[in-house]
Amino acid sequence: MHKNKEKISIITAIHNGFASNEIFLDTLKKYTHHTFELIIIDNASTDGSAELFEKNGALVIRNKENYSYPYTQNQGIKVAQGAYIFFLNNDIFVGPDWDKILIDAARANDIDVISAKGLENMGNVRDTKAIALRWKRIKYPLLMMGSGVRILRLMHRLMYGNWQKFCARQFDTFGLQTIEGIVGNNVMMTRNALDKVGVWDETQQAADFDVFMRVKKRSIEHQDIKPCQIALGAYIHHYVRMTLKYGSHKPVPFADIENLRSISQKWTPEEVNALHPDKVIKG
């Protein structure tokens, strides 16, 4: 793993999911370019996941209950030391030099909030639909065999073949190009972004959408930050909604559920249409 002196912070919340966590940790160690601190917010895991990360040098903040995404990310921000802060899901598979490509794209395009592309957004509707359909055709038949490490790795191998070559093709084709958007399973923010738009809104579980809206609004009103972008040369695989396969399959209610509000309680349809015309919400 190629390293340099610049240190980044990676913040990830977990609630069980040992198999996903093992793969996530392995790919971080294998493919991350920069020296990194890994901050894990453990929401009362019972399957040894917290211990897995601790044994591998992560800072683990243990919650006694399961908290919402924005609440946990803000816990991580309070202790993060890196100039670049990455908010990552635990059910992802990062590509070679994923962090370097994102930072280089951010610097080249003067961007403060950026994501790698993936199943949710490939940069255009046609490619996004095609790759999402391919993933569903591979994922769901194999899920009948379980969701352990062997099955998850098999899904990934059948999906991409040679992972390094697949990711290299993305960078060779697109380089440091970006498009407006956000992919919620991986978001990088600079300290400048946090200073200008603030931390995650703890009332919004759809926190990535809220960040996109806040940054876009700030970019229009103050013109001191650019809208969120997706780096087309960086690709991160997302297993998508694997948490329901952990444990009893029953979602654990958030301890802070009383504090959460829907998107439509914060953003009006008019605001969404003006700032994020591709997104439709119901009042």
Query: What phi and psi values does residue 231 have, to the nearest 5 degrees?
Result: -80, 115
Compute φ and ψ for 86, nearest 5 degrees: -105, 125
pLDDT recorded at residue 88: 98
pLDDT at 204: 96
> And the tokens for 5?
């002196």
Facing residues of 40 across strands? 12, 60
Mapped onto helix, strand or coil, the DSSP state of residue 224 is coil
Q: For residue 228, give the nearest of 217, 236, 238 by alpha carbon.
A: 217
**Domain extents in the chain:** 7-275
Given this model, what pLDDT does residue 282 score? 41
Contact 30, 2 (CB under 8 A): no
- Round to whole Å and give the CA distance between 51 and 46: 10
SS3 category, 174: helix
Q: Which residues in the chain come in under a pLDDT of 70? A: 1-5, 242-251, 279-283
| Ordered DSSP codes for 143-172 | HTT--SHHHHHHHHHHHHSSHHHHHHHHHH
User: CB of 179 within 8 A of CB of 278?
Assistant: no
Question: Which homologous superfamily is 7-275 in?
Answer: Spore Coat Polysaccharide Biosynthesis Protein SpsA; Chain A (3.90.550.10)
- What global pTM score does this model have? 0.94
